[in-house]
Amino acid sequence: MSFSSNIKDELIKIENMPDCCIHAMAYGMLLFGRSFNSGAISLMTDNGNIAQKYMSVTEKASGILPFCSVSDAGKYSLEIPSKEDRMKVLSEFSMSGNERTLRIDRGNLLNDTVYDGENLSCCDGAFLRGAFLSCGTASDPNKSYHIEFVVPFKTLSMDLLKMLTDYGLKAKHMVRRYVNVIYIKDSESIEDLLTIMGAYNSAMEIMNIKIYKDVRNLTNRRNNFENANFSKTVDAAYDQLSAIMYLEEKGVIPTLEPDLKEIAELRIDNPEASLREIGELCSIKMSRSAVNYRLKRLVSISNSIKNSEESDASEAKDDE
Ligand SMILES: [Zn+2]
């Protein structure tokens, strides 16, 4: 299955949505479908699960069940044949059917409780989930970071762009073969969008791929000693380990405060472990920065012992 269909599969499987979110999701699917006006309400899709979702959320939100037919080629065509029914659905979303252009009416995202200090409610996520199911696609993150909504109408696409940028996502607009495309290439914004929509596993997959790429990058950089940043990291790790070895040689470690002693011993036993892993190994778990702080202290203790020994040695030399 492609990454795009994995995302859709994950979004379709979200259950137990509150009524406010079912309403918002239906609005997203209908508004970003093929048509949404008094003359036609329709969607074409080759994904049977999306067709089913379109039917069920529309019915739950408006009481009208869209009609579905399947072509020989396996394309699902959804529509609401009766004008009376279409008017009912439109009025459910405060539309008259005479709108000159389609817009996003945020009044349809019923629950406007703001959470996490962000300008975002449960319904915003459900709405975008619906929109993505109707008109979204994403590239395989192993190849490139790209997610997009293909929107037939300019004004509607600009409303969507505004909504995404309001969340701080780095979304952009382009026209491709006469259709408006709202897209994101920034990997963190893609992760955020997937998280907002509720596709947590897909967001995690992108993060994992990024970590894998980072590690591969680091391995390449390891072979390139020209790279200052990487050798700085290596130098710091080397300095810390040699400082601890020095303290051990001088028999200082058993005399250290318990937390420093523990970090020093863990570092010697696990020279390859990351700071985070060392923090996990501690008897009382420590954060990465707490571990780093203690390692720095160990380096400074070892430096001060070294310095005092050197000055003793030079005084002795002066005495000669
Ligand atoms: Zn909601």
Rg (CA), the chain: 29
Same domain? 202 vs 286:
no
What is the C-alpha separation between 191 and 170, in angstroms, rounded? 11
Report yes or no on whether pTM surpasses 0.85.
Answer: no
pLDDT of residue 223: 65
Note residues around ion ligand 1 (Cβ under 5 angstroms): 20-21, 111, 122-123
If pLDDT is split at 50, 70 and 90, which confidence band does 319 have? low
Structural domain count of the chain: 2
Q: Are residues 158 and 294 in the same domain?
A: no
Per-residue pLDDT tens digits for 120-170:
678 999 999 999 999 999 999 999 999 999 998 999 999 999 999 998 999
- Tell me, in angstroms, the distance from the centre of ligand 1 to residue 4's CA: 24
Residue 93: give the domain boundaries: 3-210
Q: Could you please report the per-residue DSSP string of 126-148?
A: HHHHHHHHHHEEE--TTT---EE
Same domain? 20 vs 111: yes
Q: How far is the CA of 254 from the centre of ligand 1 (A)?
A: 58
Gap from CA of 236 to ligand 1 centroid (Å): 49
- Per-residue confidence band for 93, with pLDDT thresholds at 50, 70 and 90: very high
pLDDT in tens, 283-307: 999 998 999 999 999 999 999 998 8
Provide the 8-state DSSP code for 65: P
Q: What's at 154, amino acid-wise?
A: K
Mean pLDDT, residues 69-98 taken together: 95
Max intra-chain CA distance, the chain: 109
CATH number (domain holding residue 161):
3.10.28.10
Task: Give residues with Cβ within 8 angstroms of 140, minimum separation 6.
Answer: 2, 3
